[in-house]
Amino acid sequence: MKIPLLDLNPSLNELRHEIFEAVTRVINSTRYIMGPEIEGLEKEISEYCGSSDSIGVSSGTDALLLSLMVLNVGPGDFVVTSNFSFFATAGVVARLNATPIFVDINQETFNIDPNQLRIVLTEMDEVTRKRVRAIIPVHLYGQCAEMNEILKVSKEFDIPIVEDCAQAIGAECLIDGKKKNAGSLGDFGCFSFFPSKNLGGIGDGGIITVNDPEMANLLRLKRVHGGERKYYHRVIGGNFRLDPIQAAVLRVKLPYLNKWHKQRQENASHYNKLFAESGLGGKIITPILEHSQCLHNRHIYNQYVIRAERRDELKTFLAMNEIDSEVYYPIPFHLQECFLHLGGKIGDFPVSESVAKEVLALPIFPGITEEMRQTVVTKIANFYLI
């Protein structure tokens, strides 16, 4: 039995007719730039995420880039972020000629360690600290970062938060006793609609959520080259527009999102149970749900990531048995070739370095069968126990 890491067919088959209708509607409308589909999606995402405004953009990467542009991040500035994420999180900082400052992660949640974050900001010299323009926590794999503490640090040092929610639409956590959505916790929430996300388009796309109308206006302005009136440019922006075809498809999919989250959560519980019964304790670690600094998390399992002993051998063994798996991410930022000039070396960030050697994402998509999940766990057990 071949088991892919992700199969988009089950959700496509469910909605094929509606998706084709939505795409045809846009084509027939001849509104190919901006327009009602974008506005409709923005309204619906604001409702879903609990934000006052949403601004559809061209990708998750551009959501981060545009947010930093609105914060005037530029040469000589710094942005503090997790050392362990998809490249875009740090890449956007460097693209604005600012410098990323990396912080190690919590080994249980894989998210930025709030204690380390505080230490980094406290030990920094005053001149540098004054130039820290943003903190980017990443809600990695679909689980909120430890936002209670991160929000305290942000307040203490008066630094805005740009949440990287690319993998975490619909993730929730408890802040001061209240359930809050990823994207409504900090100053900007940056989402990706890359097809593999829980809410994925049929191409690239992204959105930014904010709760400040002034920021929303500025983001909208910079999304279209900073021109309020056509050909009159008050500020410099870019072409960060979301494609209406993507917006129309995403609007079809959004009402099904909670159902898909639930299926992923059920798949994760099933994996957890099978692994608990497998006698593999010590060889692998399954994802945790509750963490002392982040209670009542609603993990949306964009990825189900285990930590595994002899990870690379296990991955090869699974591939030989026609089971796909993936390493998100093999190299922490401080050891990426393009960031070596920042002086990072092996040993600087022990948690992300060891996690990068152990993480392995297993198939979790809605539509994966019980038999497939059982096969995945049986094969992993075979690898270690035989």
Ligand X SMILES: Cc1ncc(COP(=O)(O)O)c(C=O)c1O
How far is the CA of 265 from the CAs of 143, 302, 316, 367, in angstroms?
Answer: 12, 10, 26, 12
Q: Indicate whether 201 belongs to the interface with ligand X (CB under 6 A).
A: no
Coil/strand/helix, residue 52: coil
- CA dist 175 and 146 (Å) reads 10
The pair of structure tokens assigned to 102 is: 């990396």
Q: Indicate whether 181 belongs to the interface with ligand X (CB under 6 A).
A: no
**Of the candidates 59, 143, 293, 297, which one interacts with ligand X according to CB under 6 A?**
59
**Of the candidates 85, 99, 116, 325, which one interacts with ligand X according to CB under 6 A?**
85
Q: What is the CA radius of gyration of the chain?
A: 21
**Of the candidates 42, 53, 164, 358, which one interacts with ligand X according to CB under 6 A?**
164
**Of the candidates 84, 86, 188, 383, which one interacts with ligand X according to CB under 6 A?**
86
**Of the candidates 66, 88, 268, 376, which one interacts with ligand X according to CB under 6 A?**
88
User: Which runs of E-coded beta strand occur in the chain?
Assistant: 53-57, 78-82, 99-103, 132-136, 162-164, 172-175, 178-181, 188-192, 206-210, 227-229, 232-233, 284-285, 304-308, 359-362
Q: CB-based contacts of 213: which residues, under 8 Å, 6+ apart?
A: 52, 53
The pair of structure tokens assigned to 91 is: 């890449």
Number of residues that bind ligand X (CB under 6 A): 15
- CA dist 361 and 383 (Å) reads 16
Q: CB-based contacts of 349: which residues, under 8 Å, 6+ apart?
A: 83, 102, 104, 105, 332, 334
- Taking the complex as a whole, the smallest distance from the CB of residue 340 to ligand X amounts, in Å, to 21
From 160, 214, 235, 228, select the one nearest 190 (Cα to Cα).
160
**Of the candidates 83, 154, 192, 297, which one interacts with ligand X according to CB under 6 A?**
192
Query: Of 82-90, 126-134, 303-311, 330-338, which part binds ligand X (CB under 6 A)?
Result: 82-90
Give whichever of 249 and 377 is closer to ligand X, judged by the CB atom. Answer: 249
Query: Of 56-64, 253-261, 266-274, 314-322, which part binds ligand X (CB under 6 A)?
Result: 56-64
- Taking the complex as a whole, the smallest distance from the CB of residue 95 to ligand X amounts, in Å, to 12
Give whichever of 61 and 380 is closer to ligand X, judged by the CB atom. Answer: 61
Give whichever of 54 and 89 is closer to ligand X, judged by the CB atom. Answer: 89
Q: CB-based contacts of 16: which residues, under 8 Å, 6+ apart?
A: none
Q: Indicate whether 166 belongs to the interface with ligand X (CB under 6 A).
A: yes
The pair of structure tokens assigned to 307 is: 């930590």
Give whichever of 167 and 267 is closer to ligand X, judged by the CB atom. Answer: 167
The answer to whether the beta carbons of residues 249 and 202 sit under 8 Å apart is yes
- CA dist 175 and 170 (Å) reads 15
- Taking the complex as a whole, the smallest distance from the CB of residue 61 to ligand X amounts, in Å, to 3
Q: Indicate whether 143 belongs to the interface with ligand X (CB under 6 A).
A: no
Query: Of 3-11, 65-73, 164-172, 285-293, which part binds ligand X (CB under 6 A)?
Result: 164-172
Q: Indicate whether 263 belongs to the interface with ligand X (CB under 6 A).
A: no
**Of the candidates 56, 60, 100, 287, which one interacts with ligand X according to CB under 6 A?**
60
**Of the candidates 54, 61, 209, 286, which one interacts with ligand X according to CB under 6 A?**
61
Q: Which residues bind ligand X (CB under 6 A)?
A: 59-61, 85-86, 88-89, 138, 164, 166-167, 192, 194, 204, 206
